[in-house]
Structure 1
């Protein structure tokens, strides 16, 4: 019988665990990185109910699309845990409702300086998580070192509670009928390429003219292209559309800023290939099973790159110093100095290289 070892030092399973809380706020990509650890916990404690403590995006994307999360709780606005959010509960309400409910509380939300004291206020019988050198530690903990893949980091935390990995890639369920409905709504009969021209950090953004070169080439080849993203990505999508000749625009579908988040998994799953930066939608595309071509700053590949190269291709930019002021940008993390400049660190990646991988993946779609 094949068994999967725990990652890291591990630990024994706790007894009598019926309620588990997993703390993971942040963006869509952060949530995807935590999913394999959540699946490991659900498998290790099959009789327990797993509650995700996160933002509304978690429920929007995962409701009905995973069996590993059974309940959702919105986080209050609190420093280092959740920075903003309309309709967020107050801290008093949050802790009054949830204090003492959980047998096990799991912190996979950063280095623990803010998230560990927050987690401890839940009053769980057992706690596991990471800790920087200046963070309060939990019952079982592992040192937070910035350069570690986020999926593996979260799995190492889950192993502290005796949970073995069951998957490395996040998994978000989308049905065949959902995929078919997206393609019918867009009027796509052939191949479909999804493009997300954005990232939370502007330094991770490939410029719109480079995305436009990829979009034009795929439209000229007869493929359909769908642009996705939130309201912050509208300027980039507008620039891409403006660079596409009018005679090709019939095959270009712009859903940027208008697609409800619960519908994003199905749109990405309907695509044959997804092209994007190191961003939440690209990580979600991995989770729904769509091949991807990603443009990454090389340091982020350590923390966020896809694991395989059969389905997921990565193009790296090797910028080590800010193009404006020359400061060393490889020493990133919670203590590193950051300059005020936000140029693209990834524009040295050429569109022809990205296109070659898109074409290769489409040949095998």
Structure 2
């Protein structure tokens, strides 16, 4: 299969389908930048979720506009989720009226997403294809595990886009972001801010909270200001870390109205950080996109999938456990029913050593 595709002429509007979570959006940034660099005069429309629309509104970058799609079974929600057929039909009709020149499927193997993309009737459709998915005009075979950023860049290549120098930061921080961060945590002279991120959507990727607490105490004793961040649903976890520390830590786990941070405010705070220590979750990848030195605690294949294109900013602690400590089932091919940590074999001393190395490198 010839994979050297020329730039398409007369491109005025590009659709990118990727309605998923924060880390997944960050993985797409190199591909989005490549598309915008190749087609600078085209409008890039990101088909995503409500949080994409709120987060990207007014934010400089490769995305010009977000089209918030309704819940579509198999595309952003489970295949058996209820669907509003009328809302889906209206959205497809509206997107078809945009007369896209390029439409890129950047959401999985395409069993559900490829038929949706094809209904937009773009001049050219590209993306990945699992064996059971319909073919787009240009496609690549879908495989796992794989580096997500590189895979999405390869999809952009099917549309004639190839990367030049990756900007740093990859993601713009706005004055509004900085103001929100300052309201939640006023900046101090000479602050040496370390942000701990103890949550993750998959409990198997969560380092135990008592180890985050022990690490926080070590770094606080060495002069760092510790902030513990989490989504509102992770408030109990954040409090467990803070409650397990002897030193004072700033807790940032509520809604913006209760002193927490929205996603933009988190970017404003991450920009000020000397270090982020995190499980493999969205805020870690935001920090890496912003060029913040980061220690990531990874479970095996997640490191391959989430490795940034600039690996010098990441200090990775890796657990190679594959079998559930409760039932013994191998979780590489199929997940068992137990929500236990698969990264608890990573020691506090290992993460502390990586954290000190990252802080020393950023101060050099």
2:210 is equivalent to residue 209 of structure 1: yes
Matches of 1:322 and 1:56 in 2, distance apart? 35
Residue in 2 that maps onto 1:194: 195
Query: 2:275·2:294 contact (CA, 8 Å) conserved in 1?
Result: yes
Residue in 1 that maps onto 2:319: 317
1:258-317 C-alpha deviation (Å, 9 max, x unpaired): 212221211111111111011001001111121100000011111112344432100000
- How far apart are 1:80 and its partner, in Å? 1.7
Q: What is the DSSP-based 3-state SS (H/G/I as helix, E as strand, rest coil) of the residue aligned with 2:116?
A: helix
- How far apart are 1:179 and its partner, in Å? 5.1
- How far apart are 1:325 and its partner, in Å? 1.7
Greater displacement, 289-298 / 51-60: 51-60
Matches of 1:61 and 1:177 in 2, distance apart? 11
Matches of 1:12 and 1:129 in 2, distance apart? 16
Query: 2:197·2:283 contact (CA, 8 Å) conserved in 1?
Result: yes
Residue in 2 that maps onto 1:257: 254
Matches of 1:206 and 1:60 in 2, distance apart? 30
Residue in 1 that maps onto 2:258: none
2:89 is equivalent to residue 92 of structure 1: yes
- How far apart are 1:196 and its partner, in Å? 1.0
2:29 is equivalent to residue 59 of structure 1: no
Residue in 1 that maps onto 2:8: 14
Residue in 1 that maps onto 2:341: 344
Matches of 1:107 and 1:143 in 2, distance apart? 13
- How far apart are 1:82 and its partner, in Å? 2.4
Query: What do you get for the CA RMSD once the two structures are aligned?
Result: 2.2
Matches of 1:207 and 1:214 in 2, distance apart? 11
Query: 1:76·1:82 contact (CA, 8 Å) conserved in 2?
Result: no
Matches of 2:181 and 2:220 in 1, distance apart? 19
User: Measured at CA, do residues 263 and 178 of structure 1 come closer, stay the same or move farther in structure 2, by a change above 3 Å?
Assistant: closer
Which of residues 3, 25, 29 is equivalent to 1:31? 25
Matches of 2:134 and 2:165 in 1, distance apart? 30
Matches of 2:150 and 2:280 in 1, distance apart? 17
Query: 2:61·2:171 contact (CA, 8 Å) conserved in 1?
Result: no
Matches of 1:235 and 1:314 in 2, distance apart? 26
Matches of 1:157 and 1:94 in 2, distance apart? 24
Residue in 2 that maps onto 1:334: none
User: Measured at CA, do residues 181 and 77 of structure 1 come closer, stay the same or move farther in structure 2, by a change above 3 Å?
Assistant: closer
Query: 2:200·2:280 contact (CA, 8 Å) conserved in 1?
Result: yes
Matches of 1:241 and 1:274 in 2, distance apart? 16
Matches of 2:132 and 2:176 in 1, distance apart? 50
- How far apart are 1:167 and its partner, in Å? 4.8
1:222-274 C-alpha deviation (Å, 9 max, x unpaired): 211112221222121010111112xx21xx21111321222121111111111
Residue in 2 that maps onto 1:4: none
Runs (5+) with no aligned partner, structure 1: 1-7, 332-336
1:115-149 C-alpha deviation (Å, 9 max, x unpaired): 11111111111100001111111000000001110
Residue in 2 that maps onto 1:75: 69
2:283 is equivalent to residue 281 of structure 1: yes
Query: 2:209·2:240 contact (CA, 8 Å) conserved in 1?
Result: yes
Query: 2:319·2:346 contact (CA, 8 Å) conserved in 1?
Result: yes
- How far apart are 1:55 and its partner, in Å? 1.1
Alignment TM-score, normalising by the size of structure 1: 0.89
